[in-house]
Amino acid sequence: MSLVLICSIFSVVQAKEELIVYSGRSKSLVDPIIKQFEKENGIEVQVKYGNTAQLALTLMEEGEKSPADVFWAQDGGALGAISKNGLFSQLESDILSVVPSKFQAAENQDWVATSGRARVIAYSTKHVKVEDLPTSIFDLTDPKWNSRVGWAPRNASFQSFITAMRVLFGEEKTENWLLAMKNNGTKSYPKNTPIIQALAAGDIHVGLPNHYYLLRFKKANSNFPVNQQFFQSQDVGNLVNVAGIGILKSSRQAKLAKKLIHYLLSPKAQQYFSSQVFEYAVTDQIIPNQQLLSLEQLIKESPAIDLSQLNDTEGTLKLLQKVGLL
């Protein structure tokens, strides 16, 4: 057999290296970095995009027969559910050591964050002075905020925040807060972007979105009349949820899966999440985005919670239905 033929066969074998990813992250956000990974590593990535919760259910139904190698989820709760069901492989220390312990699986060490999204209080600069903002999310039930607050109860990030409140403060206090907010005239929006738009229009004066929505408006218009900040340190209103990733035990391509995780935690990919997507990087090996807190400060501001515990979405949906918000 000639050397040319051997090389040709080897090339074909190499070209067939393929990784299957179930992604709860939207294609518009992650496709650029997936394509870059493919280009740099010669690995073909087949991505099944979908709702994170639905993909988690699919993985639990498929079990050991799942074709997926990797689950890239939009939130810690879904990752916690897969971990709880024993479907992830434990990750090695060379991956775990890159990410702060707060942003990885606390018990099973089988998933890590790839980026973070913080809950904030956004406010209209025309109607609210920064010194008048509440220090805790529980203060928004004060009558002075009557009909001035906006939230998005149908949004998955809001629901994760409510799950965090249930975990940290219990069902009764969470239900009482939701009812008090509702009775205080809090206005509901279908998602986060309309909250930011309503703030700019003066329809509401404060809102409860994720941090990056406003940054996208500010990129287009630096004079956009809305600002945002955190509540007092470790307030549940400062919840930092994560997009994260784990390798399925059923994967036949564990080595390729590890390559992908290493790539997503590399300075290049982390810079992409910070600079282009406006999410928080989960490593400190990047050029800081001046619109975002440092990783160290972000950890200090966020509440102490195991993000894997945010897996009771069903309980949160039932509560929101009970109080008439869904």
CATH number of the domain bearing residue 63: 3.40.190.10
> 108 with 133, same domain?
no
| The predicted structure's pLDDT at residue 90 | 96
Phi, psi of 74 (to 5 degrees): -85, -20
Q: What is the predicted pLDDT for the residue at 112? A: 97
Q: State the pLDDT at residue 12.
A: 46
Residue 160 shares a structural domain with residue 188:
yes
Whether 307 is covered by a domain: the verdict is no
Selection from 46, 45, 48 nearest residue 58 by Cα = 48
109 and 257 co-located in one domain: yes
- Name the residue range of residue 256's domain: 3-116+241-294
> How much is the pLDDT for 269?
97
**Residue 305 located in a structural domain:** no
Cα–Cα distance measured from residue 106 to residue 82, given in angstroms and rounded to the nearest whole number: 14
In this prediction, residue 13 carries a pLDDT of: 47
Domains held by the chain: number: 2
User: What's the pTM value of the predicted model, to 2 decimals?
Assistant: 0.91
Cα 269–chain centre separation: 16
- Low-confidence spans in the chain with pLDDT less than 50: 4-14
pLDDT digits (tens, 9 = 90+) for 263-294: 999 999 999 999 999 999 999 989 999 999 99
Residues 179 and 226 in one domain: yes
| pLDDT tens, position by position, 29-54 | 999 999 999 999 999 999 999 999 89
Residue 318 lies in a domain: no
Look at residue 10 in the predicted model and tell me its pLDDT: 47
Contacts of 39 (CB under 8 A, 6+ apart): none
109 shares its domain with 130: no
